[in-house]
Amino acid sequence: MADNDFDPIYDASPKARMIRFARRVINTRYLFIALLIHVIGLAILGGKVIFEAVAAKGLFESEGDIYVAGPPSGAPPPPPPPPSGEQAVDIKVQRPTQIATVISTPKVSAEFNLPPPQVPMIMNQALEIKVDEGARERLGKAEAARWGQVRAFHEAGVEGAGGKRGATGSKRSTVAKFTCYVVEYAGGDWDSNFGVTDGARWYGNCIYNLMLQIGRWTSGRVKANLLPHSLKLSDSEWLEKIKPPFVFMTGHKDFRLTDKEVENLREYLMLGGALWVDNSLPGRRSRFDIALRREMKKVLPERDFEPIAPSHPLFSSYFNFPAPPPGMNFYDEPVEVVKIGGEVAVIYTLNAYSDLWETGLDEKNEVDTQRDWNKKNQNWYYRWGPHYQRSGYQQGIFFRNNTRDSVVKAYEFGINITIYLLTRFQEKFMTLPRGAG
């Protein structure tokens, strides 16, 4: 008997009981409606896929090297205990061995317009990277192939001892025959130190005088063509046919490179060529200095000029220098470079050494005070150039440091830069695997 049956006013007749039962059923209609909806929804959606689990691919793929941290120093915290009344379940997960593909990008030659090799690496359960010997060998061959292309371009315009392609020897034993090209660019005075010629000899030409002096000091081992050639930067044919080891650029005016000149210069540097720029208007913030830094940002937008220390090989490639020698008007700014792949691609001297090279030296390393009569022009051509301060004749405040000592030091530093540019990849080439290049 139910508890309600003990109520003195409770109607226990069969009819009353039936009415109370019907009321209970009606009062619980919401439960039945909810149950009915769940049953219908289960019937409709029971065979459908709501979402699919997607396995992550390429989890360990990267364009650089993979660095995997070791296991944490402390032990992981214990899992929380299950709520009371529930049984704990022991789940064991087995970690599978995973295979990753690593794209290696070596710092040196990966920037020279060449695709990086792919090296498979296997990552075991302890997250330790292992490289199989086959992968290592393929990486070495790919790296050698890169440097082989750079080497072929760099050595194409140079002849060493015995007719060998590229400069041979190093420092004072360097042997090289080549042509030094002067860059002809738009909008500036690229020929500011080009001087004049009577057909057989140049007067006041900075590159002619520098190459002539280098030939004397090396006893002909380093020999440049003494007819300076200008190279139109807008003409891309020289990239395919001439392939000079480096090109020389100077000026003292503002200038703006054309789009084609920017494109060709960038391609030349990326192939392994080098640019040597000398500011003919010495110092920082001069017209030429501002223009050069602005235009080089168009050529190599992600790279900046950076000074080099006296410990750099350039300072000891032939003569030993503790620092850059003073240039015109006593300017002594540091040498700045732009690097590609960690290697020097652009050398920038700010001290107007080209102004000092306009003054020629004789075989005794003295200022050449000779002058030659030009019959065609009915004029005298002076070998000491336009700026040299002779006794009894001063150029005034514009050229205050054009003396014999400053000229000799400028030539000595010029041969250092030339030798360095001819042999700058030599150490790298010597370490290449057999058969490279």
Query: What tens digit of pLDDT does each residue of 170-222 get?
Result: 999 999 999 999 999 998 899 999 988 887 789 999 999 999 999 999 999 99
Other Cβ atoms within 10 Å of 61 Cβ, number:
11
Does an H or E element contain 209, and which? helix 206-217
Q: What are the C-alpha distances in Å from 181 to residues 133, 185, 269?
A: 45, 12, 15
CA-closest candidate to residue 116, choices 129, 107, 125, 124: 107
Q: What whole-number distance in Å separates Cα of residue 425 and Cα of residue 428?
A: 5
What pLDDT is stored for residue 21 in this prediction? 63
What pLDDT is stored for residue 257 in this prediction? 97
What pLDDT is stored for residue 28 in this prediction? 60
Q: Please tell me the pTM assigned to this model.
A: 0.69
Q: Which residues fall within 8 angstroms of residue 95, CB to CB, at 6 or more apart?
A: 125
Residue 375, phi then psi, degrees to nearest 5: -65, -35
What pLDDT is stored for residue 119 in this prediction? 42
What pLDDT is stored for residue 103 in this prediction? 34
Q: What whole-number distance in Å separates Cα of residue 276 and Cα of residue 278?
A: 7
Low-confidence ranges of the chain (pLDDT < 50): 1-10, 50-75, 84-86, 88-110, 114-129, 391-394, 396, 434, 437
Question: Domains of the chain by range and CATH?
Answer: 161-428 (3.40.50.12140)
Q: Six-digit token pair at 374? A: 């030009």
Q: What whole-number distance in Å separates Cα of residue 294 and Cα of residue 252?
A: 15
φ/ψ bin of 92: left (φ > 0), alpha (ψ from -120 to 50), beta (otherwise): beta
What pLDDT is stored for residue 167 in this prediction? 95
What pLDDT is stored for residue 210 in this prediction? 96
Q: What whole-number distance in Å separates Cα of residue 366 and Cα of residue 132?
A: 63
DSSP strand pairing (229-232 vs 181-184): parallel
CA atoms within 13 A on the CB side of 168: 9
Q: What whole-number distance in Å separates Cα of residue 215 and Cα of residue 224?
A: 7
Q: Which residues fall within 8 angstroms of residue 268, CB to CB, at 6 or more apart?
A: 239, 247, 275
